[in-house]
Structures are given as structure tokens and as C-alpha cells.
Amino acid sequence: MKFDTPAGANPIDQLKVVGQPLDRIDGPLKTTGTAPYAYERHDVAPNQAYGHVVGAGIARGRVTAMDIAAARAAAGVIAIVTTLDTPRLAKAKRNAAPLFGGAEIQHYHQAIAVVVAESFEQARAAAQLIRVSYAREPGRFDLAAAAGSAPLVGGDSEEGSGAPPEDRRGDFEGAFGAAPVRLDQTYTTPDESHAMMEPHASIAAWEGDRLTVWTSSQMIAWGKADLATTLGLPPEKVRLVSPYIGGGFGGKLFLRADAVLAALGARAAGRPVKVALTRPLVANNTTHRPATIQRIRIGAGRDGRITAIAHESTSGNLKDGKPETAVQQSKLLYAGANRLTAMRLAELDLPEGNAMRAPGEAPGLMALEIAMDEMAEKLGLDPVRFRILNDTQVDPEHPERPFSHRQLVECLSRGAERFGWSGRNPKPGERRDGRWLVGMGMAAGFRNNLLTKSAARVRLDREGIVTVETDMTDIGTGSYTIIAQTAAEMMGLPIDKVRVRLGDSDFPVSAGSGGQWGANNSTAGVYAACVKLREAVAQRLGFNSADAAFAEGMVRAGNRSAPLGQAAGEAGLVAEDGIEYGDLAKRYQQSTFAGHFVEVAVDAATGETRVRRMLAVCAAGRILNPKSARSQVIGAMTMGVGAALMEDLVVDKRLGFFVNHDLAGYEVPVHADIPHQEVIFLDEVDPVSSPMKAKGVGELGLCGVGAAIANAVYNATGIRVRDYPITLDKLLDRLPEMA
């Protein structure tokens, strides 16, 4: 189905099932521990052996020798595959460094061996017997040191935010120079780890030259294509299966060493092999969100209108890696005639930086939205008011291009009212509650809505049960449920008459889970397939498809009616279709918006910051399921607390690796850090986005939160920290004197 004109009325608008706050249909499986995650699929292949991956102990250089004799002789060992006896594997398009093979080491914990044994413990114990000799080479590990000479590089996160190396409108320098009120500040964000619960894990089994991998992947089609490239197999010989995923946050968008080494290990062992990466390997072997150094300049008239805005970001990556597109939102969020964005990329020898939840916007807004707060203060304007004043209903770089639907102003005003923003003391450091300094902060949230094609197959059986098959994934987001809701709405069924099967490369290719594009696109694909199925049903029943109505398990046309299942007959009915987009995304800028409000308390003695209340008001098209959407947003807000206050993959700049590579050292928020959270969705439909009239929310909930917290810390203490995370050591020397 081609979607090239805004959607008119359609069966989804009935909202009998779609839009209802239904429980997740996969909830019981997860709460009873019976949802089969990749590493637990003992049933899918007999005689599984265990693989343990060894990572390089240096950041850059060569492996000169590997002594595996003792490991080979260890109890239970079946096979060992080392990087020295494997020619360098082809690097798939989406990987910055090869995942295995050859002597060269490009980053710490790059995989150098997999040991396969009868048990996990035996594999791990044997792996620790391998002695490796290296020839170290000096590397570049310090972003700040490399930033000065980093060249301009454009890039696309493949996750929906992109920008050219440098983009100019009007005369930024001239307008900035002439502006009566100016801000010029630099902000930094650290490297971050996805830190999802389930590490990367795969089971691989060969049948002749055919390979099946049960894995944990957000993007089945990418994974399949990249695994085929890496192993030099024709894609049709590779099958990927990933029905349940214990979190990904972008860490599982791309093929990683678990799948590759499970496949190589299985070939060597002549048996199916399962591999899970250890926590340290999640940090240093896989991808992370790259650190950024961002310079922001804003010039405005005394009336508070922005006349000049520049956002420049520098990040680092491996030679074939991409920049963090942190300037993206600054192209679209606020008005202003004279504009500049630029991205610089320093070559570093650290592990690969790549997409993590809201790549680009998450770190970009952490900087931009502090800058806006600082600018509001310089102008003597309320920060909410300042943002509203600079709202734009058109793409500021291309004023002929309107936003399809933009309710940022409504998010901000509604949020301010609900949160009690008028009670905020604009003078920082004035509110006290016992030993706590209390303050409020806010920020705008922004994340693009991305359109990408997505297909599905729907089957109808005699009992009137509809089964949906698509390679879409559910990474804990609720895909199962919203897809079932879509099919139920379209076919006039209650949700318990719909079965959903996901995450198998034998199913039609979907949008997958990334860039908050999953919900809108995958359900639109299911919509398209259901439209086809409705036509087939009407035809089977001899009804005119135009006036066939589907409700309560019946199909009605004029005064005729029949049970839906009757159309299926013995053999059942199958329909397959997908959604494809025309140029609506070119003609309209499609984005999602939020207002984030936060209250924090900072211990006046120790500088410990504790968040007290959080509110997000979101405008993101039709909300397909308010319950799962809320879960997405509160989860994202929690991640925002982590980014603002504690998350920091610490680089050892001498040795070239992330030092705090486990969940004891890399701190993410725990329950005690998360206070009262409230989420409001504005009542909105966006017919330009898809027949579902929906958009994404999963990343929007994170975008802006970090800055809202930073601004609240400023309001509480009068201390402006521009260097995330805002840990207490950055506040301590400016807190009030102690008696």
C-alpha cells in the first residue's frame, strides 16, 4: 500500500481496540519467566554447547601469539576458534570495525577467540587459560585532545537523525555579532552504555550450509543481511529468530560478536552453540553512545526573539564510524533567521560509538536546552515563555515546509500549569527544605518521526482467529500488543482472537525497532495487510468490499452477514502487504514534541541530587495504547535521570578502554532514584504520518529530560554545570558554606 496523501477516515478511527489502555499480551509470559529469550532456547536445537568469547586486553596493536594448549586440554572443551586462525571476516555495512579475524586489534575487548565446551563454566574456565601475546601500538583515546583538529563530517545515525557537515542559513556570524543579548557556551556529554538487562546472546545451528541463529536483535533484516555478509553466505541461507528481547536501546540494532562467534563456534564444534556476551564485553566489545563536546551560540533581540543560533558538535569514533548527530534538533526546534550547524568527527581508537536511544537528540538536547535556560535568564524571561516566543510552525531552514502537526507550545503551557511552574522562584538557590535545596527546571523535548516501509502477513482461519506475522521486534516496548490491537480493530475482532508472531526473518520485513519508528510503521504495515485481507474476505463471501463492515467477529454488507471465519474456509485466507511512503515526509516536517518538568532537591552539604517529581507532556500523534506508551515514556524519563546525574562510561585515556565496565561501576538509576512520574499525552492525530495517524513516543520521553534536571539543579543551587553527568563533585565547591 502506498501512502502518499494524508489519511482520511478509516477503520482505525473507531478506536474500539486501538487507543485503549490494554495490558500487554506478552505480559504473563514475562512475569512468569516463560517468555523464551535467546540464551534460554534449549528447545530449538538439540545438543547445544556453550561458547565463551575472549576479548582483547589491549586497545590497539596486534595479537602476536595465542597459546591455547592448556585451554584445549581443559575439561569439557570441544573447540576453540581464534582470531589468528581465522582470516579477517568481511566488515558488514553497519559495523565500524570487523567483528572477528586477523591479528589486528582496533579496540579493547575486540573478540579474539571463542571457546566451546560442554558447559558454560567449562567454557569460561578454559577461556581463562588462553595466553595471549600482543604488540601494543599507541592509540588516540582522548576526545578533548583530538577535538581541536577534528574535521567536519556529516552523518546519519541510521536511526533518524542526520545532518550535513556544515549547514548555514542567512549570516550567522553577522547576526550573532549584532545581537544585543548573546550566549556562547560549551557543553559536554560522556560516553554512555545501553546497559540493557539482557546482554547480547545468540544460539547458532548449522544444517549443511544453512545457518539459523536465535538471537536478540532489534532489526531482523539488518542482522540477517549483515551476518550473511560477515560470513560470506548467500542471505537466503541465513535465518534469524528473535521473538523476545530483554531490552536493546539501540545496542541490538546491529550484528555483534555473539551471533558471529556462535556461528563460527557451531561450525567448529559440529554442534549448535550458544554465546552470551559478558557485561564487560557489552561495554567494550559492542557499541555505546559517543561522548560529545558541543558549542552553542544564541543571539537574541531584547524582545527575546532569537536572531542567530549555532550548534556545533564534536564526537569521536573509529575510522569507519559516524559522528553523533547532536545538532539535529537545533535545525528544527526554534525559529531564527540566521543559523549554523556543524559536526566534527575525531578519529579515536575506542570501541565503536553508535546509536543509543534517541541518538543525536538525546545528547543534543542535553546541551541545547541548558543553553536555552541560560539565554532566558540573560533575557530576564521565564524559560517557558522564552521557548514559546521562539516557536515555529515551519522548518526554519526551509520555511516553505510546514510541520505536519506541532504542539510544542501546548505541551509547554499545559505542563507549566499542571506542574505548578508559577510557584518556581526564578531566583536560584532560594528555596530550602531542611537540609535540601529545592529547585524546578524544564526543557522542551523533540524527536523526529520517521517513516520507513514495513510489511506483514495476516492469516484468517475457520475459527475466526487472525494471525499476524512480521519480522517486527518487541524489545519490551509493547509491539505485540499494538499490532494485535491494529489487527483486531481492522478485522472487527476482540483482541483475544488475534495471535501475533514476531521477530523471524521468514516473515515479511518490517520497520524493526529503532528510532522510535517501530510503533507507527509496523502497525501501518499490519493495517495494509489487513486492508488486503478484508478485501479477500469480502470477495470470498461475495460481498461488495466497499460496504463490508467488520464488527463483533461478523462481516456485514447491506442486510447480509456472515461470521468472519466462514470466509476462511478449510484452507484459511492469507494476505500480505506493506506500507510504503510517498513524499509526505519531504513535504511536511514530521516530529514529536514534549515539555519536560522536573523538581529536584540537592543536599546542601553533600551535593547529592535527588529528583522529586517529573512530568512529561507529549504530543506524538495518536497514542495506540496509552498504557504501553506511558511505560515507554516513564522508562525514557528514568534513562534521562541516569544521563543527567550518573551515567558515565569512563575512558582510561592511557590504556584506551571503558574502565567501569560492569553494572557495579556503571551506575544507572535504581528504584530509589525515581520519584513520582507523570505523563500526559495530548489528544492528537496526525493524518500525515500514516493510516494509523500515530507517531513514535519511545525516544521522545528521553529527549530533554537531562537538561530539565540540569536546569532544576541550577534553580536549586545557583550552580550551572555544563559537563554531564552532574555528580556531586561538580557542585561541592560552590555549595553554601557549612557552619
Least distance in angstroms from the C-beta of 671 to another protein: 8
Burial class (CB in 10 A: 0-12, 13-18, 19+), 52: buried
State the minimum distance, in angstroms, from the CB of residue 349 to another protein: 16
Q: Which is nearer to another protein, 508 or 669 (CB)?
A: 669
Span of 157-165, 197-205, 224-232, 670-678 interacting with another protein by CB under 8 A? 670-678
Question: Residue 235: what are its φ and ψ, rounded to 5°?
Answer: -55, -30
Is 91 or 610 the residue whose CB approaches another protein more closely? 610
Position of cell 572477528? 100
One of 643, 645, 705, 707 touching another protein (CB under 8 A) = 645
- Does position 732 interact with another protein (CB under 8 A)? The reply is yes
Binder to another protein among 23, 605, 683, 734 (CB under 8 A)?
605
Does the annotation mark 737 as catalytic? Answer: no
Residue among 150 and 438 whose Cβ is closer to another protein: 438
CB of 650: closest distance to another protein in angstroms? 5
378 forms part of the interface with another protein (CB under 8 A):
no
Please choose, from the candidates 678, 683, 681, 646, the residue with its C-alpha nearest in 3D space to the C-alpha of residue 665.
Answer: 646
Choose the binding region for another protein from 203-211, 257-265, 582-590, 644-652 (rule: CB under 8 A): 644-652
In a 3-state reduction of DSSP, which class is residue 283?
Answer: helix
Among 267, 401, 610, 612, binds another protein (CB under 8 A): 610
CB atoms within 10 A of CB 154: 16
CB of 652 to another protein, least distance (A): 5
Nearer to another protein, 36 or 665 (CB): 665
Number of residues that bind another protein (CB under 8 A): 41
What is the residue type of 482? I
Q: CA 79, CA 420: separation in Å to the nearest integer?
A: 64
Identified binder of another protein from the candidate list 102, 402, 665, 718, rule CB under 8 A: 665
Neighbouring C-beta atoms of residue 622, cutoff 10 Å: 23
**Which residues is 458 bridged to in the sheet?**
468, 575
Q: How far is the CB of 484 from another protein (least distance, A)?
A: 35
Nearer to another protein among residue 378 and residue 612 (C-beta): 612
How far is it, in rounded angstroms, from Cα 57 to Cα 133? 10
Report CA-CA distances (Å) from 146 to 317, 347, 354, 658: 11, 8, 19, 18
Q: Which of 667, 678, 718, 720 binds another protein (CB under 8 A)?
A: 667
The CA distance from 646 to 692, in Å, is: 38
Q: In what order do the strands lie in the sheet with 454-460?
A: 2-3, 573-581, 454-460, 466-470, 498-502
Strands 454-460 and 609-619, by their bridges, are unpaired
Q: Of the listed 104, 576, 699, 737, which one is catalytic?
A: 699
Copy the grid coordinates of residue 438. Answer: 529545592
Q: Residue from 660, 678, 720, 723 that binds another protein (CB under 8 A)? A: 660
- Residue 504 has which C-alpha cell? 523471524
Q: Which of 9, 546, 571, 672 binds another protein (CB under 8 A)?
A: 672
Give the number of other Cβ atoms within 10 Å of residue 569's Cβ: 12
Please, what is the Cα angle at 440 between 436 and 442, to 5 degrees? Answer: 150
- Quote the CA–CA distance of 44 and 48 in Å, as a whole number: 9
Contact flags string 115-154 toward another protein, x per CB under 8 A: ------x--xx--x--------------------------
Chain positions 63 to 122 lying near another protein, rule: CB under 8 A, are 75, 121
**Would residue 693 be called left, alpha or beta, if left means φ above 0 and alpha means ψ between -120 and 50 degrees?**
left
Q: For residues 147 and 655, which CB has a smaller minimum distance to another protein in the complex?
A: 655
Q: Does residue 433 touch another protein according to CB under 8 A?
A: no
Question: Is the Cβ–Cβ distance between 295 and 326 less than 8 Å?
Answer: no
CA 511 to chain centre: 13
Which of 15, 65, 73, 670 is close enough to bind another protein by CB under 8 A? Answer: 670
* Smallest distance, another protein to C-beta of residue 79, A: 20
Binding mask 487-526 for another protein (x = CB under 8 A): ----------------------------------------
**Position 197 contacts another protein (CB under 8 A):** no
Applying CB under 8 A, does 236 fall inside the site for another protein? no
* Three-state SS at 591: strand
Site residues (CB under 8 A) for another protein, limited to 256-295: 280
Query: Least distance from C-beta 46 to another protein, angstroms?
Result: 26
Rounded Cα gap, residues 727 and 669, in angstroms? 13
739 scored as a contact of another protein (CB under 8 A): yes
**Among 133, 115, 120, 125, residue whose Cα is nearest residue 54:** 115
Give the residue ranges of DSSP H helices in 676-726.
705-717
Q: Tell me: cis bond preceding 725? Omega within 30 of 0 counts.
A: yes
Q: In the bound complex, what is the minimum distance in angstroms from residue 118's beta carbon to another protein? A: 13
Helix, strand or coil, per DSSP, at residue 95: coil
Which of 661, 693, 695, 722 forms a contact with another protein (CB under 8 A)? 661
Q: How far apart are CA 260 and CA 114, in angstroms?
A: 10
Nearer to another protein, 196 or 298 (CB): 196
- Residues forming contacts to another protein in the complex (CB under 8 A) are 57-58, 75, 121, 124-125, 128, 280, 435, 603, 605-608, 610, 645-646, 650, 652, 654-655, 659-662, 664-665, 667, 669-673, 727-729, 732-733, 735, 738-739
- Catalytic residue positions, numbered: 699
